[in-house]
Amino acid sequence: MTTLVLDYSRDEARTLVKAAFEMVGSIETYFDDGIRVTGRTGGSFVSYGEVIRVEIPEQQSDDDRTMISVIAEREVAMNITSRPEAYKSQFIQSLETFRGHEIEHVLEVLLDEIGVQTKEVYSLEQQASGTTLAGWVMIALVVFGSLVALAAFPLFFLFAVVPLAVLGYYFVVAT
């Protein structure tokens, strides 16, 4: 976790955080729930995705200074190729390019760079996610393993592999 103090009001700091998410090319979507802004990279061939969460507490010690915490995590815990810290560094670097400028200037630069299309989504369900990809990979592994097990041990397949496939689907895709 990285903690930063921004010389902006809480609302201006939120705008700065959103602008930084807009400028990081690898962030597919971000969602603002009022207390935190969460950016996600989504799944790819290399990784199931990363999550960058910026917490902006409502209670601040100063109206003109805002403390934020930047946290980077893997989208899926078993993702060994995930690089959340690299994406956190990209986010902080993007944030630093805007830091010190008036919010109006930040918004002008953002409008020039990205236009009116935004990465912001307005519900958690719309956020990019790699968990579905992870679920399909797990299902494919179970199916392949099941075919091998079925050929070698038909009763093992019926009593062990089918229940494991159902549990795997529930924990990875359904949750």
For the chain, the structural domain boundaries read 2-129, 132-174
Positive or negative: CA dihedral 43, 45, 48, 51: negative
**pLDDT computed for residue 26 by the predictor:** 87
Coil, strand, or helix at residue 153?
coil
pLDDT of residue 172: 65
Q: What is the predicted pLDDT for the residue at 133?
A: 61
Report pLDDT for 134: 61
Q: How much is the pLDDT for 63?
A: 87
- How far apart are the C-alpha atoms of 85 and 68, rounded to whole Å? 17
Only one residue has tokens 């935004």, namely 118
pLDDT at 121: 85
**Residue 82: what pLDDT?**
78
Is the CATH number 3.30.310.80 carried by domain 2-129?
Answer: yes
Scanning the chain, the segments in alpha helix (DSSP H) are 10-23, 84-98, 103-114, 131-152, 154-156, 162-169
pLDDT, mean of each 10-residue run, the chain (175 residues)? 92 94 89 92 75 92 92 80 87 92 88 80 72 66 72 66 70 61
Give the pLDDT confidence score for residue 4 in this predicted structure: 92
pLDDT at position 50 is 87
Contact of 131 with 172, CB cutoff 8 Å: yes
Q: What DSSP line would sit under 51-94, residue for residue?
A: EEEEE--S--SBTTBEEEEEEEEESSTT-TT--HHHHHHHHHHH
Would you give the DSSP letter of residue 167?
H
3-state secondary structure of 123: coil
Per-residue pLDDT, 52: 93
